[in-house]
Amino acid sequence: MRKLQAKLNTRIGLFWLLVFVFWAKTMLAYAIDFHISISDPVQAFIVAINPIGTSLLLFGLAFYARRARFFYPILTLTYILNTVLLYLNVIYFREFTDYMTVSTMTGYDKVNQGLSGSSLALTMPHDVLYWLDLVILILLFAFRWLKFDKLALPKKTGFAVTSFALMFITFNLAVAEMDRSQLMTRTFDRTYVVKYLGLDFFTAYDGASEWHTSSMRAAATKSELKDVTDFTQKHYAAPNKTMFGAAKGRNVIVIHLESFQQFSIDQKVNGKEVTPFLNSIYHSKDTYAFDNFFHQVGQGKTSDAENMLEAGTYGLPQGSLFAQLGSDETFQAAPAILEQSPEKYTTAVFHGNVPTFWNRNNVYPNLGYQYFFSQPYYNHSGDRSMGYGLKDKLLFDDSVKYLQHLQQPFYVKYLTVTNHFPFELSKEDQDPNFKTTDTDDSAVNNYFVTNHYLDQSVEELFNFLKSSGLYNKSMIVIYGDHYGISNSENKNLASVLGKDPDDWTNFDNAQLQRVPFMVHIPGNGHGKIEHQYGGEIDVEPTLLHLLGINSKKYVQFGTDLFSKHHDQVVAFRNQDFVTPTYTSLSGTIYSNKTGQPANLTAAQKKHTAAEQAKVTKELSLSDSLNQKNLLRFYKPDGFTPVDPSKYKYTKGLQKAEQIERDRGVGSTSLYSQNGNKSIEGLYHTDAPEVDDKGR
């Protein structure tokens, strides 16, 4: 004990003690409050080391003060401040299931108003462990068990500690990047940054990002918006008179097919259709299906797709708009537009993953979503979840309890996740009558298995829509968000598609970026397979026009797919593009007919150069609009700017039920229309986790 006391009475000894104790408190928070998930030994190692580097760096600042009267106050202050930061995040996480950003901290008084009652109400008995060490430390100094070490340390000590800390942080970064590539460039979930790099690192990174964004936005002026509005107004395509209002007043049900590509439609494997139900919808006379529809996502992947489909702007050149800018971004998105329409749509999202993924819990209020039913609303016990959240059949089934209480008409979106890389599915969920491919690539083989499962899931949802009476009152939109099979695996897919892997080129990669887009309007009878070229950026104006809402006054970079003036130049995030005639990849123009580099005439070169210039300009203007938050300067006539503080997602069901009670006989929810009785029994699924017969 005396040896320990002697070591702790040195500055180095006390320093290492505080590093260790703070590490222990962080591990406590990770395990009990933040619920950091660990799936393998590498992740366990990363989680265990990530608080150490930043603790060494911060606490090590005290070594630059050679005198004891400065060293101890600096060390104590940095330790206390770090503890305060940790504990504030603990309290915040308990209410919002998210970590505090720098902008949140600077406005904590506003955050505290949003907490349930007060921060005090969120405290728990074990919280004493976050502060007990400070009490013990004070007592040890008070009773002189610990004393100030007045012996001055060499000048190089501070530099040595800082150097070691930076080396440790670099090592942490390297290991994290090995396990989770593009962690810092994509930043799709704050939980991942904390999990891999620690809370201090996340706070510093967020602070730097906040400063960069704030500086850019502070310097922005209203005049910069003119270039954007000039482009979008000139680019606007007037609606097709026949299609305008074709679905006016209907419910809108959007089904997001995760990682689903167009080649799966009508594809057969071992004599069996991969997606028999989706094929039937694709060829239905009530469906407008597009066979030259491309995803246009960047690093933001699914979040980029959501942004394009609902906000009408492109994702960022690097990272995710949702994650990097979405918390404070001004949107004039479809959910808000529909809520403010004469029909006064109710808007909601159903998603079986954590609400923080892609920062959705902060972005959806800015989009104007009234409800967000995410992981806390669903039962995830046992094997009900895989990979990125609740299995698709269970998501559709379990969402009925919430859907039935929403006022009609509604605009709802289902975000499926089971068909996500690496496309794993338990045996009990697989169709024993479907045998997949037998390539050397497990991702390709598994892809068709999860495709088939997703197809069955959507069929079950359609059956419910019909039995509940929703089907004939709705427009059902089905889309694939981005590729599932990456370019590096496409050669392994080639033989399945009837192509020679040795002849596979970048042109073939580009053509595989097609994803399904179907607009199913029951009773329409005029549906067909449309061949015009388009992409995700074109969805918002298309849907608004189908609902009888003209998109002209809104800033949108896409054009109505049904319009005679629709722009068929499809821009990709990397500035490549595709048209009905040519495909441009890294400056090389390919002929769509031959798949080979095109031998262009002078006139054709001039034309494709003009198209390239337009694509570059369009992406640049979208980036300027988003990065500088220029929509805050734009007020379309009749549109009220979204007030995100109106939308809280913690008590969605109670909110919907209260509206039913308030409206009484005027309530238009399915529950009210069914005599205030649940319709959950109308949903039937063969998911092994559900006792369907016991309903």
- 347 assigned to a ligand binding site: no
Pick from 253, 358, 347, 254: nearest CA to 303: 358
Helices within 257-412 (DSSP H only): 276-282, 301-311, 321-324, 334-339, 360-367, 392-398, 400-403
Whether 25 contacts 126, CB under 8 Å? no
Task: Give the contacts of 554 (CB within 8 A, at least 6 positions apart).
Answer: 312, 332, 337, 636, 639
579 annotated as ligand-binding: no
Are the C-beta atoms of residues 577 and 558 closer than 8 Å to each other?
Answer: no
**Contact between residue 667 and residue 388 where contact means Cβ atoms under 8 Å apart:** no
Amino acid, single-letter form, for residue 484: G
- Ramachandran area for residue 249 (φ above 0: left; ψ -120 to 50: alpha; else beta): left
Nearest by Cα to 520 from 470, 481, 593: 470
Is residue 481 part of an annotated ligand binding site?
yes
Distance of CA 46 to the CA centre of its chain: 24
Tracing tokens 């850019």 back to the chain, one arrives at 216
| Helix (H), strand (E) at residue 410 | strand 410-415
Q: Are 478 and 257 in contact (CB under 8 A)?
A: yes
**CA 554-559-562 angle, 5° bins:** 125
DSSP β-ladder status, 389-390 and 385-386: antiparallel
Instruction: Supply the DSSP symbol for 37.
Output: -
Encoded tokens for 587:
């400056």
Question: What length does the chain have?
Answer: 695
| Whole-angstrom distance, CA of residue 51 vs CA of residue 176 | 13
Q: Which DSSP state fits 329? A: -
To which residue do tokens 């246009």 refer?
Answer: 296
What does DSSP assign to residue 597? B
Tell me, letter by letter, the H, E, C secondary structure of 491-553.
Answer: HHHHHHHCCCHHHCCHHHHHHCCECCEEEECCCCCCCEEECCCEEHHHHHHHHHHHCCCCCCC
How far apart, in whole angstroms, are the C-alpha atoms of residue 642 and residue 299? Answer: 27
Say if residues 260 and 482 touch (Cβ distance below 8 Å): no
Residues marked as catalytic: 302
Residue 302 marked in a binding site: yes
SS3 424: coil
346 sits in the region (left: phi over 0; alpha: psi -120 to 50; else beta) called beta
**482 appears as a binding residue in the annotation:** yes
Q: Is 115 exposed, middle or buried (0-12, 13-18, 19+ CB in 10 A)?
A: middle
* Per-residue b or e along 355-387, where b marks 16 or more CB atoms closer than 10 Å to that residue's CB: bbbbbbbbbbbbbbbbbbbbbebbeeeeebbbb
Tokens of 492: 């392994």
d(C-alpha 359, C-alpha 351), whole Å: 13
- Residues in contact with 513: Cβ distance below 8 Å, sequence separation at least 6, in sequence order: 261, 294, 295, 483, 572
Contact (CB, 8 A) for 453 and 292: no
Q: Which residues are annotated as part of the binding site for Mn(2+)?
A: 258, 302, 481-482
Residue ranges of the binding site: 258, 302, 420, 481-482
